């Protein structure tokens, strides 16, 4: 099998990235929450001050397939700021299509994010995972991640929609 290449996303990948974002949300049983558009992904990730960065996993076409790249996974990250450790990286999403799992593509994406983080002077990178996603949890633990929710009790909270408007007095 020809090897999968991990590279930085280009603006013209956004249609494929949106397809993968939707697949991941479906796997997470939360696909009703996806409100993003291809246009927003293009505008937000590829201007002068990109709001995110994205790595994609690309396969060459299989025999008989139409030529051209095929994206089978992605890792979308951005820089955050820890008041304890300073500049840090946050891996918002990581996904590999089911038929390409088990080949180490996810690990390659995570390793590349760790390289980016170190090069940017970060001493940590964070991510979130659903506790029932055992495959992902096991991978992150094998690669050396700590579960801060389990160890220290961190819970993620979110204000959105009407609650946020009410807070802001709108």
Contact set for its own copies, span 91-110 (CB under 8 A) = 92-93, 110
Q: Enumerate residues 30-89 that contact its own copies by CB under 8 A.
A: 30, 33-36, 40, 44, 49, 51-52, 76, 78-87
**Interaction of residue 120 with its own copies, rule CB under 8 A:** no
- For residues 12 and 150, which CB has a smaller minimum distance to its own copies in the complex? 150
CB 71 within 8 A of CB 24: no
**Interaction of residue 142 with its own copies, rule CB under 8 A:** no
**Interaction of residue 160 with its own copies, rule CB under 8 A:** yes
Of residues 90, 57, 74, the one with CA closest to residue 22: 74
Two tokens, residue 5: 């290449």
Q: What is the DSSP string of 65-88?
A: SPSS-EEEEEEEEEEEEETTTEEE
**Interaction of residue 19 with its own copies, rule CB under 8 A:** no
From 8-16, 57-65, 98-106, 158-166, give the range in contact with its own copies by CB under 8 A: 158-166
- Please identify every residue annotated as catalytic: 140
Rounded-to-integer distance, Cα 109 and Cα 116, Å = 11
Q: What is the CA radius of gyration of the chain?
A: 17
- For residues 2 and 49, which CB has a smaller minimum distance to its own copies in the complex? 49
């Amino acid at each position: 099998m020809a090897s999968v290449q991990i590279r930085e996303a280009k603006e013209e990948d956004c249609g494929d990235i949106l397809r993968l974002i939707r697949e991941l949300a479906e796997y997470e049983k939360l696909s009703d929450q996806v409100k993003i558009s291809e246009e927003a992904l293009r505008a937000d990730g590829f201007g002068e001050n990109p709001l995110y960065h994205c790595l994609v996993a690309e396969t060459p076409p299989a025999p008989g397939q139409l030529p051209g790249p095929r994206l089978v996974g992605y890792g979308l990250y951005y820089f955050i700021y820890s008041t304890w450790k300073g500049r840090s990286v946050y891996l918002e999403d990581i996904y590999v299509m089911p038929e390409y799992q088990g080949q180490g593509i996810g690990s390659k994406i995570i390793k590349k994010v760790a390289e980016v983080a170190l090069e940017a002077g970060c001493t940590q990178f964070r991510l979130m995972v659903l506790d029932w996603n055992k495959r992902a949890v096991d991978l992150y633990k094998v690669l050396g991640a700590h579960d801060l929710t389990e160890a220290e009790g961190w819970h993620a909270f979110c204000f959105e929609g009407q609650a946020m408007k009410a807070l802001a007095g709108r």
